[in-house]
């Protein structure tokens, strides 16, 4: 219940924050919805916390030409209640409402969530499906990676020491685009046993899957045959080494992914 001691800094600017994060043993604190409980259980014991809560200019959702730019410190509730997203990328709204609970959505941030790279988190599926890009900053400058390259492995993202997620960029939905996020909740934690995000736009379908494997992934084989929900479902978990725990076996997770993908594709047809 009680974390170990740490040094704390609450920088006001991004530059300052990046400077602090460049040091050894520093860990960024965004909403803290994953980090703080782990610190209380002493599974995490960072020497220095850099609280991003006061950094200005990291919390926004704005339209920029063909894209929507989302500041990394935007909370899940910011996304859930964004009229802009509801109109231009409703998949993110649909996903946000299914994250955790009200209090978690009020505090947790999209940047913190993806940086944590939890294989059962909700955002990865949705961001994969809508083809997001992640802007990453460090003292050395900024870079942008495609979301598919961002998730490397279980709890492992492409973020290098000293780097910070600063923005998520998603394309504005084309006219007539359709999308859905379907989630099977682990009954205790509320994490996704399986989460399937489907995004159909301009005749192309992108599918993001979370909860199933060591990291969230794009189900490209399913995308290729998305016009036929049965076929797409049959290959959604092909060649995937699925997770297994006390809540669901690998076999059941794969099955759920197939069923829910089929249903999602059918409902969007």
Positions touching other proteins (CB under 8 A) are: 1-8, 10, 27, 29, 32-46, 49, 51, 53, 77, 100-104, 106-107, 116-120, 153-156, 184, 186-191, 213-214, 241, 243-249, 252, 255-256, 259-260
String of DSSP letters for 67-104? EEEEETT-BHHHHHT-HHHHHH-HHHHHHHTTSS-HHH
Least distance to other proteins from the beta carbon of 65, Å? 31
Instruction: State which residue, 60 or 155, has the beta carbon closest to other proteins.
Output: 155
Least distance to other proteins from the beta carbon of 106, Å? 4
**Residue at token pair 């002493």:** 42
Partners of residue 181 on adjacent β-strands: 197
Least distance to other proteins from the beta carbon of 120, Å? 7
3-state secondary structure of 161: coil
**Residue at token pair 């089929």:** 262
Instruction: State which residue, 221 or 255, has the beta carbon closest to other proteins.
Output: 255
Instruction: State which residue, 8 or 60, has the beta carbon closest to other proteins.
Output: 8
Instruction: State which residue, 174 or 230, has the beta carbon closest to other proteins.
Output: 230
Instruction: State which residue, 25 or 57, has the beta carbon closest to other proteins.
Output: 25
Name 189's Cβ contacts closer than 8 Å, sequence gap at least 6. Answer: none
Name 82's Cβ contacts closer than 8 Å, sequence gap at least 6. Answer: 61, 92, 93
CA angle, 178 then 179 then 182, to 5°:
150
Cα(146)–Cα(134) distance, integer angstroms: 6
Is residue 136 a contact partner of residue 164, using CB atoms and an 8 Å limit?
Answer: yes
Cα(224)–Cα(242) distance, integer angstroms: 21
Partners of residue 63 on adjacent β-strands: 68
Instruction: State which residue, 92 or 216, has the beta carbon closest to other proteins.
Output: 216
Query: Which of 123, 125, 119, 147 has the alpha carbon at shortest distance from 135?
Result: 147
String of DSSP letters for 24-38? TTEEEESS-TTHHHH
Least distance to other proteins from the beta carbon of 133, Å? 22
Instruction: State which residue, 172 or 193, has the beta carbon closest to other proteins.
Output: 193
Instruction: State which residue, 111 or 119, has the beta carbon closest to other proteins.
Output: 119
Is residue 231 a contact partner of residue 164, using CB atoms and an 8 Å limit?
Answer: no
């Amino acid at each position: 219940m009680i974390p170990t001691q740490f040094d704390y800094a609450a920088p006001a600017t991004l530059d300052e924050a990046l400077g602090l994060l460049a040091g050894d043993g520093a860990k960024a604190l965004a909403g803290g919805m994953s980090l703080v409980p782990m610190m209380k259980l002493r599974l995490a014991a960072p020497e220095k916390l850099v609280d991003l809560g006061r950094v200005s200019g990291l919390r926004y959702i704005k339209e920029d030409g063909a894209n929507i730019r989302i500041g990394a410190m935007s909370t899940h509730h910011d996304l859930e209640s964004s009229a802009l997203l509801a109109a231009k990328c409703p998949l993110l709204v649909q996903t946000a409402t299914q994250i955790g609970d009200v209090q978690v959505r009020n505090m947790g941030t999209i940047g913190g969530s993806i940086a944590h790279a939890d294989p059962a988190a909700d955002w990865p599926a949705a961001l994969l499906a809508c083809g997001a890009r992640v802007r990453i900053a460090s003292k050395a400058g900024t870079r942008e990676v495609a979301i598919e390259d961002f998730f490397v492995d279980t709890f492992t993202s492409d973020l290098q020491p000293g780097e910070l997620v600063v923005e998520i960029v998603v394309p504005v939905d084309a006219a007539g685009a359709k999308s859905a996020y379907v989630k099977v909740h682990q009954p205790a934690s509320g994490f996704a046993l399986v989460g399937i995000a489907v995004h159909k736009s301009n005749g192309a379908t992108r599918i993001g899957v979370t909860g199933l494997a060591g990291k969230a992934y794009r189900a490209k084989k399913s995308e290729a045959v998305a016009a036929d929900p049965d076929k797409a479902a049959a290959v959604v978990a092909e060649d995937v080494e699925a997770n297994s725990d006390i809540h669901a076996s690998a076999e059941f997770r794969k099955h759920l992914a197939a069923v829910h993908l089929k249903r999602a594709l059918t409902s969007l047809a």
